[in-house]
Every structure is written in structure tokens, then in C-alpha cells.
Structure 1
Amino acid sequence: MTSILTNLSAITALQTLRSLASDLQGTQDRVSSGLRVGAAADNAAYWSISTTMRSDSMAISAAADALGLGAAKVDTAYAGMTSVIDVLTEFQARLVAATEEGVDKAKVQTELDQMKQQVQSIAESASFSGQNWLTTDIADMYDVDINKTQVVSSFVRDANGGVATKTMTVDLSKISLFNSTQGGLLQRDGRDIDTIGMMRSLATYSDGTEVWYPRGSAALPAQLSNRVFSGPLDLTGAGDAIMFDVTVDKDEPSHGISPPYDPGKTTMGVTIDKAFLDTHFPSWNGVIEDYKDFAQALNMALSVYNTGASAGLHYVSGYAGGIKPDVYQIRTQENSGLDGSYIEISNLTSQVSSGSHGLSNTSAQAPRGSQMTIPFTSFEVFRDGEDPDGIEVSFDFSVNYQPAKSYSFDRTYVNNLLGKTDGTVSNATEMVTLLSSLMQADWPNVIISVDGAGGVSMVLDPLVDRKAGGGTRIGFSNINVSHEPIPTLNFLEIDIVQNPNMVRTYIDYMDKATARVVDAAATLGALQTRIDMQAEFAARLASNIDSGIGRLVDADMNEESTKLKALQTQQQLAVQALSISNTAPDMLVQLFR
């Protein structure tokens, strides 16, 4: 139906044109910006995600820049460290040359001084962006709270949307060559725990070797030593004989044991005469030629009479074959089943034709080996440089050869136990507290106390254990300190002119010092590798994030350009349709003319 009041076709064409104009505008925006989602109105969810991811990408880019800065610091330190290794190698070669006879040590020292200056110069020059890892100024190199620095490694966003940067820790105690307060790799280590309160003692041998020995006490069976024989001993005369009584293993009240006291085992009438010798040593013809034969004959008599004692030669270093000539000894075998360790010769009667056997009425009491006194000296359990609990001291302890128990303590343990902050054990009372806290549960019968001279007494309670002599022992073993051995020399103080006898010591020191510097270079090399890996990962991560953002918000340009062309064509057709619709009323009016 045609109406002169309403041009329906024109209205329809106009609506179509307006719709096409809106679609065309959106398509043109996507084509010009390249974005399918350019604002929150386009797709609120995708826009929010992409905006957050763009922020992450920028943060990762910043982290990558920081990684580059960290890599430059590591590269600088590594370059300096490798140069130092070259100089140290040459330095050690000069020291070896100085051991040759006729070498002018003064001239060699001049070269060494130049090399020392070169090492120091390299260390001071290895600085980047105001930071130097080879020459440091750390108040305490072994304090884990201040001996480290950080290098940015990555950026992360947690599940709650929080953001943070991750860092790599660089332990400068393993890298610094020279520190203002000592502790560098080429400086002496001042953390000498020494005897650990006299738990151990140091022995220094003629070749300069030093060995720590754990402190302990042990007893041997009671013995009559240094019995001097002068032969030959002739027992061929009428009435010639040696006769005596033997007592073994009686208790000693002075050991603090409680009564009753066992009198020991006594064997009476032990006799050595020609008849005895003819029975057991017929080839001797009643004559004992020397001390070795007499020790053999006496041992046979003690065995035949079941005395619980034995005789033998006196073995001691410093003599040919380790045997002291013309001397023998008698000891208890401690097989009587008694607790004491005692040997006594009594009621001796002797008639010989010639010679002297060395026996006399005498006795010997073995001590209790299960007691000792430690002459305490104060010590400090130092910081470790890596472990926040400080260095660790570990040791074993045993009494009377029972299976040893293992114990350990560190700086944190000492501070918590003694209510301190400096890791010191200052007096014998504190040492008693420390040892008791560690060992009392395992060894309730060991009495640990302060003795009258300010030392530490460790005694197996004699009211519980009465045993003396062989088989009794108390002491430490397997003492280990976590940071030992420590360097005791300073590289810059090496002087073969002032200390010509220390050249070998210097060479040994340089072996260890160079090894430490090589380890430091390896640590820096590992840091380089890790930073490179992190940088590569950051680059890949940033690329993946950008790709992910593109998948969410980027427009498909092929699709959008095709759509734009179609909309432009539709717009042209809509304009023509509107034009045609607008001419229809004019044609109707002409019919009425």
C-alpha cells in the first residue's frame, strides 16, 4: 500500500543505513587499531585479562633489564677472578723456584711483591655500577645476615594476583678475595676454635705437621716395670732357688669405691729352681743366660702356678727392635674376675750361684682409667658464613670401651643453652653445663663437675663401677669442626726473605688458596649460567605472554578487511535504496496534477 503520510520503504532503508554505519565504524576501528578487543566495552573479560598480562609483560621486561645488570656484575667479578688465578699460578711457580739452592730469595721476593700488588689491583678494579664482589667491606664476613647480596632473577604473579620479583642470592663469603675486616679467600681465617675448651690437644711434629688429638684417659693393667736382669743366672748349686708369693687384683680404697674391699688373689710358693728349669727348659742345664730367657722362665712359672700374672720384655721405642735391653716386666693379666688391677711380689727368698734376677718385694696398683680432668680454656663457637646456626662441633664419647655415642653443638645451641648471643663458653661451669646437656642422658653414671683448679672433671662414678686398670677408659674421639681446616696465613704477608724456612709452608698455603679461588670462579661461572638461563626464560615468557594477549584481543585482519569491503558495498546499496524510496512520494503527487 502506498501512503502519502508515511514512507515505509524510506524508513526501512534509513534504518538499514544506520545499522550499516555502526557496523562499518566498528570494523574500521578494528582495522585501524588491529585490535578485536580495544576497550572494556568490546569484551570486559578479555580486556581485563589482556590488561593484566600487558602489565606482567612490562614487569618481566624490567626484570630482564635487571638480569642484564646482574649479569654484568657477575661477568666483571668472573673476569677479575680468572685474572687472579693466572697470577696466583705464576706466584706459586716462583715459590717453587725459591726452594732451589743458590736462588736469590730477595729477587724472588721482589717479583712476589709485584704479583701481590697485581692481585690486589685486579680485585679493587673488578667493580661494576659501584659494586665490587672481590674487594668487600663487610663488618663480619661470617654473619649470614650481612655477607650476601641479591641479583634479580624473575617476576612472578601468585594465585591471588600479588606480584613479586625473585632474586638469586650471592654468598660473598665464597667470592670475596679481600675484606676490610678479614675473612676474604686470600686472608687468614680468624675463627680458630683452638682446643674447644681442651677437648683436644695439638701435637706439632718435626716436619711442621700439626695433628689434633682428642683428650682422653686410659689405664693399663698394673705392672712391675724395669726389672733389671744381670746374667747368666746360675741355679745349679745345692739349694739354689727363687721362691715368692704373687697377689693380683686387690681393690684400692683410695679409688673411692665402697667397702668391702677385695684382698685379691694370692698364690704362694711360686718356685724357680733347677728342677723347674730342667722340666720346662732342659737344654739350659739350670743356667739362665740373659734377660730374654729369664722373662720366658718367669712367665712359665707364673703360668704353671696359675697366678693370674705374666712376665715379658719391656717394649719401648728408641731401642733396637723396640726392646729395652736387660729389662723385663711383670703384670697382672686381669683374668681373676676381680675389679681391681694390682700386682705384688712378696715373701721373696732367693739363693743363686751367680747373677741377679731383679726380683724384689714390691707392688703396683693400676689407676682407674675412667676418670680425667680437662684444664679448661675459654672458646667461641663462631659464625659459619653460610649456616645461620654457626659452625658445628661434633664428637664421640665413650667410657670403658663401650660403644661410643655421637654428639654435636653449634653457635645457636650454645647461645640458647647459656643465654648468650656471642657463642662463647667462658668458664668451666659453662663447659660442665654444655657437656652435661649433651651427654648426661646417655651416661648417667659419669659425674661431670668443676674441679678445684678451674678445670672440668669427668669421672665414672666409683660407687657404680669399681673397675680399675686395663679396660678402663674415658674420653672423646672423632672430633670434627665444620669449617676446618682454616687458612692461617695472609697472602699479602708472604715473605720468603723474612721467613726463609716457611717456603714449603707458603707453597702448601698457595695450593689451598688457589683451590679456594678456583672454587669461587666456578661459583661465579654457575651464576653466569643461571642468569643466562633466567634471561632466556624471561625473553621466552615475555614472547609467550605477548602471543597470548594477541590471541585474546588481536583482530583477524583478513576477516576484518573482507567484512569492511562488504559493509562499504552494503552502505552504497542502502544509500541508493534510500534515494529511490525518497522519490516515490514525488511520483504520487504528479498523478494529481
Structure 2
Amino acid sequence: MTSILTNTSAMGALSTLRSISASMEDTQSRISSGLKVGSASDNAAYWSIATTMKSDNAALGAVSDALGLGAAKVDTAYSGMESAIDVVQQIKTKLVAATEDGVDKDKIQEEITQLQDQLTSIAEAASFSGENWLQANLTAGTDLAKSVVASFVRDDSGNVSVKKVDYTLSTSNVLFDTGGNTGILDGTTSIDGNGISVDVNVNGTVSAYDVVRYTTAEVVADGATFDTDGIAASGGTVSDGYVKVDDDTWVAAIDQTTDTTVEIFTEDSGGALWAIDTTNTSTATLSTSVSAFTITNTTTSAQLDDLIQMVDDALTSMTSAASSLGSISSRIETQESFVSDLSDSIEAGVGRLVDADMNEESTRLKALQTQQQLAIQALSIANSDSQNVLSLFR
């Protein structure tokens, strides 16, 4: 039936044209934005996932920046520790050289002093962004827990957290304690002193006295004359002479032939009575540190051995601390690579959900353009039907 009031053909063609135009708008929007899911109305589930993951990816970007900052702190501390190890090794070498007979220990100490000053400079300079991991106030015990941001994590329940790599400053990895003397280099160690502890009976009371000890060579050099038994030596510049208390160990003594208040230590082959001179004092042990010890031409072989051991122990601790810093640096480097790969994977995953396939969209647009032209032509034909009715009345 042909009607001039209701043109169903035109209505159908117009509806088709509207549908095609709407599809073209969607396709053009995808082409211009590059997204097939640009809003929640396009696909609520995919849009929600993509929005959350994009937010997490942005957080990973912040983690990557934090890792770079943390790596700089660790690398600075490691470089300082490595330089300090080199200097301490030189100090150890100087001490070994000082054990050679006839060497001028005072000259060697001048070099050691410069190296000790260098250690202080290294520790003070090993700071990045206000963080110094080579010196700290260990005595106060505050701000010793250090950390480096490692990752941003979302668990199965949707809970988020920031993971960190922890590093605690302690006496085993800090070179200098700014609040005391407990660091690796300023921590005090007991070494052999110039004295020896001897027991002396004075008026029936036995007391321990720390007095200067001398080697046989030093007694000879002082010009003392040994008795035939080799247990006493008279003369010299210290007290009245010397008495032997151990192998190659002598102490200053006083001729007590006419004095009975002090128990006689020994009687020499000439009948002289000798007692230890308790006023010629010197400590049996000394407290010193790698950064503060000194040697002189009177420093004994035993003291040098103790100093070498002290420096070697410090090297062991420093090597261990450097290993820990190296491990953290390696972990940070691995984490940086992982975060970068993870960020790329998340970005690619989000792209699969919301990115438009431009090949597909361009093909669809071409088809819709053709359909649109056909729909316009069909609408034109449908509208011409009412004009054909006029020919019936001619």
C-alpha cells in the first residue's frame, strides 16, 4: 500500500542511517583516541581493571625513582668503604714495614698519620642527600635503621603495600661513631703496653705493680753490667740497675742491701740485694684504635704485632660491611630491572584490554562509510515514492 501520510520505507531507511551514523561516531572516537574502552560505559569491567592497573603502574614509576635514589645512597657508601679499605691496607703495610730492625718508626708514623686523616675525610664525604652510612651516632642509638624502597605490591585481596630493603647501622658496618668510640675505626682495642705487671711484697702485703719492661738489648744499650748469674745488672741510667723477671724481660731495680722494708727480689752473684723499683711505672696494656694509634722508635715488637692484628681485624669487619653493601646494590639493580619489566608488562596488559585495533577500526570505518552512502541513497529512493503518486493523477 502506498500512503502519502506514512512512508514506512523512509522511516526504515532513516533508522538504518541513524544506526550507521552512531556506529561511525563510535568508530571515529576509537580512531581519534586510540581506545576501544575510553570510559566506563564502553566496558565497565575492563575500564575498572585498566584504571586500577594504570594507578599501580604510576606507583611503580615512583618506586623506580626511589630505587634510583636508594642506589645512589648505597653506591656512595660502598665507594667510601672501598676507599677506606684501601687506606687501611696501606696502614697495615706501614706497620709491617715498621717491624724491620733499624727502621725509623717516627717517620713511618708521619705517613700513618696522613692515612688516618684520610680515613676521617672519606667517612665525612661519603654522604648523599643528607644520608651518611659510614659514620653515625651509634651511642645515641637513634636513626640507625636505614631502608631503600624496593617495590609496590597489591595482593589477592586488593591490599597494597610498599616493600623495602632494610640496612641497620651498627658497630660492625659504621667506620666512625660520632657519639662515642664504637665504630670499626675508632673503636678502642687493648694492645700490649710498655709495662709488665709484677707482684711485690711490701711489709708483708703483696700488691701488683705495672712497671716498665726492658729487653736484654735495651739493658745492654743502657750500659748496665750483668752479674755472673745473669739475673741482675748494675748501673745504667734507670734506678740502680735491672733485674730479670722473665725471658728477655727486665725491670728497673733498686739496691736494697741495707733496706729490709721491701722483700728482696733477688740476690746477685756479688751479694747485692735487689728489689723492683715500683716507681718506674708503665701500663701493661694500652687502649687505642685504628684511627688514633701512634708508633715511635720505642714501640716494641709485641706492640707492633698487636697493632697489626687490630688493623687486620678492622679490615675483616670493613670487608664484611662492603660485602653487605655490595649485596644490597646488586639487589637494587635487579629490582630496578624487574620494576621496569613489570611496568612494561602492566602497560601491555592494560593495552590489550582498552586499546583499539587500528587495522580493525579503519576497516570498520570504511565499511560504515559505504553503508552510510547506501543508506542515504535508500532514504532518497524511499522519499521519492510519494512523488510517484502524483503521476497517477495526471
Q: Deviations over 1:484-525 (max 9, x none)?
A: xxx964212110028713222111111111111111111111
Question: SS at 1:156's partner residue?
Answer: strand
Give, in angstroms, the shift of residue 21 of structure 1.
0.6
Q: Is the 8 A contact 1:46 1:552 kept in 2?
A: yes
1:496 to 2:330 alignment = no
Going from structure 1 to structure 2, the CA distance change for 1:488 and 1:48 (only over 3 Å counts) comes to farther
Question: SS at 2:164's partner residue?
Answer: strand
Match of 1:186 in 2: 185
Higher relative contact order (CA 8 A, sep 6+): 2
Match of 2:119 in 1: 119
Going from structure 1 to structure 2, the CA distance change for 1:547 and 1:76 (only over 3 Å counts) comes to same
Q: Is the 8 A contact 1:138 1:146 kept in 2?
A: no
5 Å-filtered alignment, 1:55-70, equals: 55-70=55-70
Q: Which amino acid aligns with 2:99?
A: T
Match of 1:420 in 2: none
Could you tell me how far apart the structure 1 residues matched to 2:139 and 2:379 are?
88
5 Å-filtered alignment, 1:119-518, equals: 119-140=119-140, 146-173=143-170, 174-181=172-179, 182-188=181-187, 489-497=288-296, 500-501=299-300, 502-518=303-319
Q: Is the 8 A contact 2:136 2:176 kept in 1?
A: yes
- Greater percentage in strand: 1
Question: SS at 1:583's partner residue?
Answer: helix
Could you tell me how far apart the structure 1 residues matched to 2:306 and 2:175 are?
20
Q: Is the 8 A contact 1:489 1:509 kept in 2?
A: no
- Report how many residues are paired: 301
Q: Which runs of 5+ in 1 are unaligned?
A: 193-203, 209-486
Match of 2:87 in 1: 87
Question: SS at 1:591's partner residue?
Answer: helix
Question: SS at 2:291's partner residue?
Answer: helix
Question: SS at 1:492's partner residue?
Answer: coil
5 Å-filtered alignment, 1:34-45, equals: 34-45=34-45
Question: SS at 2:353's partner residue?
Answer: helix
Could you tell me how far apart the structure 1 residues matched to 2:338 and 2:139 are?
36
1:535 to 2:333 alignment = no
What TM-score do you get using the length of structure 1 for normalisation?
0.48
Going from structure 1 to structure 2, the CA distance change for 1:13 and 1:122 (only over 3 Å counts) comes to same
Question: SS at 1:491's partner residue?
Answer: coil
Q: Which amino acid aligns with 2:295?
A: I
Q: Deviations over 1:51-97 (max 9, x none)?
A: 10011101111111100100011111111111111111111111111
Give, in angstroms, the shift of residue 571 of structure 1.
0.5
Q: Which amino acid aligns with 2:177?
A: N
Q: Deviations over 1:115-165 (max 9, x none)?
A: 01111111111111111111223444xx5x743211111111123322221
Give, in angstroms, the shift of residue 207 of structure 1.
12
Q: Is the 8 A contact 2:116 2:292 kept in 1?
A: no
5 Å-filtered alignment, 1:518-557, equals: 518-557=319-358
Could you tell me how far apart the structure 2 residues matched to 1:28 and 1:4 are?
37
Q: Is the 8 A contact 2:105 2:297 kept in 1?
A: no
Match of 1:412 in 2: none
Among all aligned residue pairs of Structure 1 and Structure 2, give the percentage whose two residues are the same amino acid.
50
Q: Which amino acid aligns with 1:7?
A: N
Going from structure 1 to structure 2, the CA distance change for 1:488 and 1:544 (only over 3 Å counts) comes to farther
Going from structure 1 to structure 2, the CA distance change for 1:572 and 1:488 (only over 3 Å counts) comes to farther
Give, in angstroms, the shift of residue 189 of structure 1.
5.9
Q: Which runs of 5+ in 2 are unaligned?
A: 197-285
Could you tell me how far apart the structure 2 residues matched to 1:81 and 1:527 are?
14
Aligned to 1:586, which of 369, 387, 392? 387
What TM-score do you get using the length of structure 2 for normalisation?
0.72
Q: Which amino acid aligns with 1:491?
A: V
